Amino acid sequence: MGSDLVDNRGRGEASWSWPSIHPEGRKFALIAAVISLGFALLAWETLAWPFAALVPCIAAFFRDPKRVTPQGNNLVVSPADGLVTLIKQMEPPRELVMDDGSGAPGLPAGPVTRISIFMSVFDVHINRTPIGGTVRRVVYIPGKFLNADLDKASEENERQHILVERGDGRAIGFTQIAGLIARRIVPFVKPGDMVAAGQRVGLIRFGSRVDVYLPAGTDSKVLIGQRVIAGETVLAEIGNAALIDGVRL
């Protein structure tokens, strides 16, 4: 988590820079480069060039840009880059609600607003926590690899639930869901870890989805079809429930 402070009155500095490549991606880029070099040494150029072209593609997929996270006691920021494909009232996953024996409470039972964010292979795939607090649960569930854009992917695909609790006891759960191409969810946190809003908590390889479960009495501040940015876009303000209309132009 960066320590540079900025505000909406001009404090701070801004400059463009190349995003760093997450270590998870560096090994894949290196493997592709070595294979390309091997084929080149064998004079198999028809195979060398495709693997050489893979290197910048892999680097782009695993890019990890810096983000400026708005600070506020009740702000919920997006955990993922992508397209808001679904906003609906529904029960949270049982893994986020049931007693898991840890002594830490789960989410209250009852319908809440779920926001689903679909990440294509062109989006940044580093996921960030929507709020700051203590990680209470990280629950991995193996499953299928259906198209992550389908609603049933929330219950049938490989997924990982994360529950973060604020100091005042308010908690938010979100779920990383593997997709049609994605084959691995990589966590960066474990139960008991302290995280700041917008901090990196994991990634999903090659196209996927993240579902966020807002607390009761809280509505989305984003709209269906809107693109959001992990760690920057405000998804909701806890306790704020209001209808927001949008127009697609």
Catalytic residues: 208
- Rounded Cα distance, 42 and 32, in Å: 15
User: Nearest 10 degrees: CA dihedral of 114, 179, 201, 121?
Assistant: -110
Nearest partner of 220 among 245, 248, 241, judged by Cα: 241
For 151, the token pair is 């609603």
- Rounded Cα distance, 116 and 95, in Å: 18
Percentage helix, strand, coil, to 5, in the chain? 20, 30, 50
The alpha carbon of 32 is separated from its chain's Cα centroid by a whole number of angstroms, namely: 26
First-last CA distance in the chain: 36
For 36, the token pair is 């390309």
Evaluate whether 184 touches 89 at the Cβ level (below 8 Å).
no
